[in-house]
A and B are shown apart, each in its own frame.
Chain A
Amino acid sequence: MFSGFDFDVIERSLPFLFKEGMTFTLTLTAMAMTGGIVFGTLLAMMRLSSHRLLNVPAATYVNLMRSVPLVLVIFWFYFLVPWIGGWVIGAEQPIQVGAFWSSVITFTLFEAAYYAEIMRAGIQSVARGQVSAGQALGLNYWQTMGYVVLPQAFRNMLPVLLTQTIILFQDTSLVYVLSITDFLGAAARIAQRDGRLVEMYLFVAVVYFIISFTLSWLVKRLQQRIAIIS
């Protein structure tokens, strides 16, 4: 079954696959994670606010993002971002946004909806008395959040946030639909050029598996370490 295989094609393309492809994938993952968690936390705080002008838009945004496929969201932003950019700076034409920034914006905004739900559960997991204690000490809303609630919420939700990031890492492969050279895109390019689809796609699957599996194993270890034994 493996007799007709040409494993040499993998070795030949390793520098391209990792230096170009994997670097893109990891950079995109890191930036979308950072942006997504920050924006997601803000969305979660908005959703938990009792002010209708804050919680209704946040809930609408989160539910909208969660009911549409990521592929469609990628297409949406790929076309929408140049128009919004042009409108913001008052240009005559839609501005040029590179594929990289387009995908960073897309994944940040999309994943924020998922991080928001996790952070909402995290904030709600902090005992009510903590907020009261903060207020009793004379802290304002931002201080209570920043010094009391959010650090505990992050700690409680750390494993789920990291698991979501592993999913994000896998999801970034979908930038393939914009013909971007991420890890999968790089492999697909070589696969099609050399007619070596089987070898390249199997190799991609193995690499993704090793990375994701190792990371989720580490998250599981972390979960056991920080678990509160009751």
Chain B
Amino acid sequence: MKYNWNWQIFWAPAPDGTGIYLWWLVSGLGWTLATALLAWVIALALGATIGTLRTTPLPWVVRLGNAYVELFRNIPLLVQMFLWYFVLPELLPKALGDTMKQMIPPWASFWPAVLCLGFYTSARVAEQVRAGIQSLPRGQRMAGTALGLTLPQTYRHVLLPQAFRIILPPLTSEFMNIIKNSAVALTIGLMELTARARSMQEFTFQVFEAFTAATVIYICVTLVVVFGMRWVEKRVAVPGLISAGGAPMAGH
């Protein structure tokens, strides 16, 4: 039993005439990063808003925020991907649904993937933001009130700046999750990194070279993110305010 290794395969011309196989993987990485970054913008904006709303003293807003988080956390990502891709265009008004269905190939799966990952991750970010704000001593909020700050001012100048510094490490792992989770978009036809490795394997039968290359690329991306965020953490650190690693969280 012998496996025929062929590491030269990355320089072999790819069958679709776009160049060599290595270029397939690079363009896959490009789609992975584009999807993840755009989805991250949605996730941060929505997640920060909803997470903050869940700590306000308004019971109905809190309940709505909780419902939002539970909705997105309790449905598997793959199922959500199918809902955005297959189901949503059917439920929307006909004109809008048809526009979604008639988009040209990369975009037809790109936009649903971005929205899906963005909303899915926003629920997880919202949970982190809520936990971060609630981990602050109660006196912080009271001090804001005592100084005559309004509720929005208290959040803007007292609570949020501290909370975001505390949750930087968990946000980093959420960002890595969004990069990894973008691989799920291959099920709706997005040619991101894992999909490219998989189709390279199908064309060349060089399974382990293709997957090794994809794995190495993912590890490099992880390292860049980890070191990048460590640098950010150091830059924004406030002397005396310790951002301890919080309680262990389940995740993937």
Chain A residues engaging chain B, CB cutoff 8 angstroms: 1, 64, 67-72, 75-76, 79-80, 83, 86-87, 91-94, 114, 117-118, 121, 157, 160-161, 163-164, 166-167, 170-171, 173-174, 176-177, 184, 188, 197-198, 201-202, 204-205, 208-209, 212-213, 216
Contacts and interface: CB of A to CB of B under 8 A. Distances in A.
11 contacts: A72-B214, A114-B252, A118-B248, A160-B249, A173-B78, A197-B82, A198-B87, A202-B83, A204-B79, A205-B79, A209-B74
A126 to B, nearest CB: 14
Interface residues of B, number: 44
B84 to A, nearest CB: 10
B76 A208 contact: yes
Interface of B: 1, 3, 70-71, 73-80, 82-83, 86-87, 90-91, 176, 180-184, 186-187, 194, 197-198, 201, 207-208, 211, 214-215, 218-219, 222, 247-252
Q: Is chain B's binding surface mostly helix, strand, loop or mixed?
A: helix
A114 B77 CA distance: 18
Contact of B87 (A94, A164, A202): A202
Contact of B1 (A69, A91, A164, A167): A91
B1 A170 contact: no
A198 to B, nearest CB: 5
B211 A198 contact: no
Most buried by A among B79, B82, B198: B79
Contacts of B198: 75
B192 to A, nearest CB: 9
A202 B86 CA distance: 10
Contact of B250 (A1, A160, A209): A160
